[in-house]
Amino acid sequence: MTEYRLTPLAQSLPATVPFVGPETQERNMGRQFDARLGANENVFGPSPHAIKAMAEAGHWMYGDPESHDLRQALATHHGTTPDHIIVGEGIDGLLGYVVRLFVEQGDAVVTSDGAYPTFNYHVAGFGGGLHKVPYKDDHEDPAALFAKAAEVDAKLVYLANPDNPMGSWHKGEDIAAALERLPARSLLVLDEAYVETAPEGTALPLAWGDPRVIRMRTFSKAYGMAGARVGYAIAAPELITAFHKVRNHFGMNRAAQAGAVAALADQAWLAVVKDRIAQARIQIAQIGRDNGLMPLPSATNFVTLDCGSDAAFAKAILDGLVARGIFVRMPFVAPQNRCIRVSCGTNADHAAFAAALPAAIAAAKKG
């Protein structure tokens, strides 16, 4: 009989994933959701030019292992050089690489309690020690994060701006000011997945090569290409060189690269989508208010709705929505788990959500 000689670390980890996908839930229910409003995908889709480029990419060939054309296009778009840019399999893949580069057994890492769990998943997978600070008024707290980093000598500090799951955000200039208190031996991993949907001034106003920070962005949200898995990071060239030592050189498929180049070039489509997202946020917020829920301000492609009670009540509403064919999610950690989170959708998606929500709330109250 084969003996699998796993590492002690691998043996100690639970067999879990950060998120249970809607497809898994659909298989368990034996039906499809009527509205898919839980994964923060962009239902409005990618640029038509991106769709055409992906269809014509030549799928029989491997993708360029250097992602040359995409890195060049990103460098031109951001006014920097390709040496400052690494492309990877979504921000999730890039988070795995940055943790692999920095974190060994017992190394300290700092994040917010309740922030993006995929980062925590990677840290656990490499044996790092997670140190968490609470949110402050439903916002991540940069000052507390950086203070904790100094306390535990953290190698990495994770901060999302705008934030998932709350939709809140900080001005970029405020994060830049807080960075003065980041310990010299720590690196800020700044997740800017939603920056295209945020107000002007949210992006960090520092040089792309600032050695204190690595900025991660994606084509999954505003650009509507979640299924293609295209993310990129911008940092000092010395750090980008380190990524090339550990990354999967053929991890980026040819169609995804071509689609991202075309999507980046079509800023007119991006403007249309951003407007649709803004309108969708207004609709979701109004549906929440109509049903006694309080929408929180959002700079993302979702709206977090305060259910006005505790986690059990929010979970009951979520379960009621899922049972009625509406896929949504909720924050994992108190006090944010008093809320549910609803992704921007089409008018039909919102109509289905609006139809199901009153009964879900009524059932939660009765329960």
Instruction: Judge if 284 and 347 occupy the same domain.
Output: yes
Instruction: Judge if 115 and 258 occupy the same domain.
Output: yes
Asked if residue 204 lies in contact with residue 215, where contact means CB atoms within 8 angstroms, the answer is yes
Predicted confidence at residue 18, as pLDDT, reads 83
* Residue 356 maps to a domain: yes
CB atoms within 10 A of CB 125: 15
Instruction: Judge if 138 and 199 occupy the same domain.
Output: yes
Among 342, 344, 315, 331, residue whose Cα is nearest residue 135? 331
Q: How many domains is the chain partitioned into structurally?
A: 2
pTM of structure: 0.96
* Residue 8 maps to a domain: no
Instruction: Judge if 259 and 309 occupy the same domain.
Output: no
Q: Which of 265, 290, 307 is the last residue of a domain?
A: 265
**Which residue has tokens 């407007």?**
275
Would you call 247 exposed, middle or buried from its count of C-beta atoms within 10 A (0-12, 13-18, 19+)? buried
CB atoms within 10 A of CB 162: 26
| DSSP, res 136 | B
* Bridging pattern class, strands 213-218 and 231-234: antiparallel
Instruction: Judge if 35 and 131 occupy the same domain.
Output: no
Q: Which of 265, 293, 323 is the last residue of a domain?
A: 265
CATH number of the domain that residue 102 is part of = 3.40.640.10
Instruction: Judge if 303 and 332 occupy the same domain.
Output: yes
Range of the domain at 135: 48-265
Instruction: Judge if 309 and 231 occupy the same domain.
Output: no
Instruction: Judge if 260 and 290 occupy the same domain.
Output: no
Predicted confidence at residue 17, as pLDDT, reads 81
Instruction: Judge if 257 and 124 occupy the same domain.
Output: yes
d(CA 77, CA 219): 14
Predicted confidence at residue 53, as pLDDT, reads 98
**Consecutive 10-residue runs of the chain (367 residues): their mean pLDDT?**
90 87 93 96 98 96 97 98 98 98 97 97 96 98 98 98 98 98 97 98 98 98 98 98 96 97 98 98 98 98 98 98 97 97 98 98 95
